[in-house]
Structure 1
Amino acid sequence: MTQPDAPSPPAPLYSPARVRELLTRHGLRPTKSLGQNFLIDGNILRLIADAGGAAPGVPVLEVGPGLGVLTREIASRGAHVTALEKDERLKPVLAETLAGLGVNVVWGDALDFDYATLAPGTRVIANLPYYITGPLLARFMHAAPIVSATVLVQKEVGGRLAAHPGDDDYGFLSALAALHGTVRHVRDVPRGAFLPAPDVTSSVLRLDFDRSRPLPDPALLRFVEAALHHRRKTLRNNLRMTGLEGAAIDAALAGVGLRADVRAEDVPLSDLHALAARLGVVR
């Protein structure tokens, strides 16, 4: 007697067909204004979880879980996951896809969340909404409980994060990352790894924050931001635009051993710090 065929196992959540079925069944479409490009490449998902340090007992924060694809990968490794999601249309989807995984889903705007309330040693692992990448990274850097952030960002942003003085992409975001720790480029991710495909290539970056040193002085951050505001202008001109006197700037530049015509993007952070001290911006 012929045995009936066993039912086919459900398609994995990162299958394009499965994702489309999930969206259709819940009457959803990705919202461009929320930066919803869902990562559906299983190899990339596993790589991000690996690079981010998802492991049993590790507190992990995910921003923008979307359909819960990356969330499932992280939680399945035993990490304690908190996921911040703004789009409440996704409530029934995440109730389905994250069932039984113990994920703490917090509904609300990630820009309003108090990151100081997270568990010490929290690692961010996330496909960040592109339109708020910079503000979110700044919040992660300033939140003492967060020790690292492994994030999927636009390749252009990734280039700026990992740049060094003298590089074409170097700017305030590069300096901000360096003032808080180190940045490592993990890999680029093609557009075809997402549904729908974004207009740009993405990159996975890991930022490690050095919590053994105090957070940078806010006055120093403002000084560095002003110094790098127009990266290709001379540092002297940028500082003059802040209201500092030309003679004081010239004396400080000479005291640090910098040329009067040096461009801001070519100056190491240590020299900018020394310059800020000579100008009385920081002690």
Structure 2
Amino acid sequence: MQAPLYSPVRVRELLTRHGLRPTKSLGQNFLIDGNILRAIAEAGGAQPEVPVLEVGPGLGVLTREIAGRGAQVTALEKDERLRPVLAETLAGLKVNVIWGDALDFDYATLPAGTRVIANLPYYITGVLLSRFMQAPGVVSATVLVQKEVGQRLAARPGEDAYGFLSALAALYGTVKHVRDVPKGAFLPAPDVTSSVIRLDFDRTRPAPEPALLKFVEAALHHRRKTLRNNLRMVGHEGEAIDAALASAGLRPDVRAEDVALGDLHAVARRLGVVR
């Protein structure tokens, strides 16, 4: 009986037979733990007829798990060397592989109800999460990220890891920590522990205005500094800031990382950044 595709033996055999080595610049760390694969697919909502987007299928290990549950999978892969590998590992499965850079893909074209399930390349995690949030058809993203990024995503105002990424996730929906993933679940093993995080996007809310996003990013750019200083740095007048802080019930010396999103929004309105 042949070992499952995710076993280290099969992964090494595939790589050797196709003359491949994982490319660090592409963030290639292949999953070799069946329990983790099943947990990601389950948490991500991979079910019959559900449209699923996977970024960076690699050897197709997670892709097989998702497609095997009946989901309609679209996979974005940049590394053209993997063409023969995926032709082999995804044979007989209904998977639409799109070859190209995930940063160039138009996420607005995804059908309503799309769920992202992916082991994201670590070096572009933040950018991709932002794209998913802004794509109206994407309702959730269940992703493997560096543990530190997972903590930032789930952090609330006043917590150590809180910053712009935390605020962005909260503006679009909710974040749930599914589980941590040890280094040994990958081949090659990365330098850091990973986490499976699920983001659910509330598409009943109006999307945040670009001006608000820009304001929140500026406010949290130096999150340990005072909100007043950060807003001064992007051109707001001191007196106007003081009035806005007072109207929101905030101390003049409040640190940016301690301000609730609702209060930041109130300050933005008072400063005329948004209506």
TM-score range, shorter chain: over 0.9
C-alpha distance in 2, partners of 1:37/1:117?
Answer: 28
1:160 corresponds, among 149, 152, 157, to 152
Aligned to 1:226: 218
For residue 213 of structure 1, report the CA deviation from its aligned partner.
Answer: 1.0
Q: Residue type of the partner of 2:250?
A: L
What pairs with 1:130-209 in structure 2 (closer than 5 Å)? 130-209=122-201
C-alpha distance in 2, partners of 1:255/1:55?
Answer: 48
1:266 aligns with 2:239: no
For residue 151 of structure 1, report the CA deviation from its aligned partner.
Answer: 0.1
- Structure 1 SS opposite 2:53: strand
Aligned to 2:233: 241
For residue 118 of structure 1, report the CA deviation from its aligned partner.
Answer: 1.0
1:86 aligns with 2:75: no
1:111 aligns with 2:111: no
C-alpha distance in 2, partners of 1:56/1:136?
Answer: 25
1:21 corresponds, among 13, 16, 35, to 13
Moved over 3 A (4+): none
1:68 aligns with 2:60: yes
Q: Residue type of the partner of 2:247?
A: G
Aligned to 1:125: 117
- Structure 1 SS opposite 2:102: coil
Aligned to 1:4: none
1:45 aligns with 2:72: no
Aligned to 1:275: 267
Q: Deviation per CA, 1:26-79: give whole Å up to 9, x if none.
A: 000000000000011000000000000000000000000000000000000000
Aligned to 2:90: 98
**Which structure: larger Rg?**
1
For residue 119 of structure 1, report the CA deviation from its aligned partner.
Answer: 1.3
Q: Deviation per CA, 1:154-204: give whole Å up to 9, x if none.
A: 000000000000000000000000000000000000000000000000000
C-alpha distance in 2, partners of 1:153/1:172?
Answer: 17
- Structure 2 SS opposite 1:77: coil
For residue 10 of structure 1, report the CA deviation from its aligned partner.
Answer: 1.4
Q: Percent identity?
A: 85
Work out the number of aligned pairs and report it. 275
Q: Residue type of the partner of 2:107?
A: Y
- Structure 2 SS opposite 1:111: helix
- Structure 2 SS opposite 1:54: coil
* TM-score normalised over the length of structure 2: 1.00
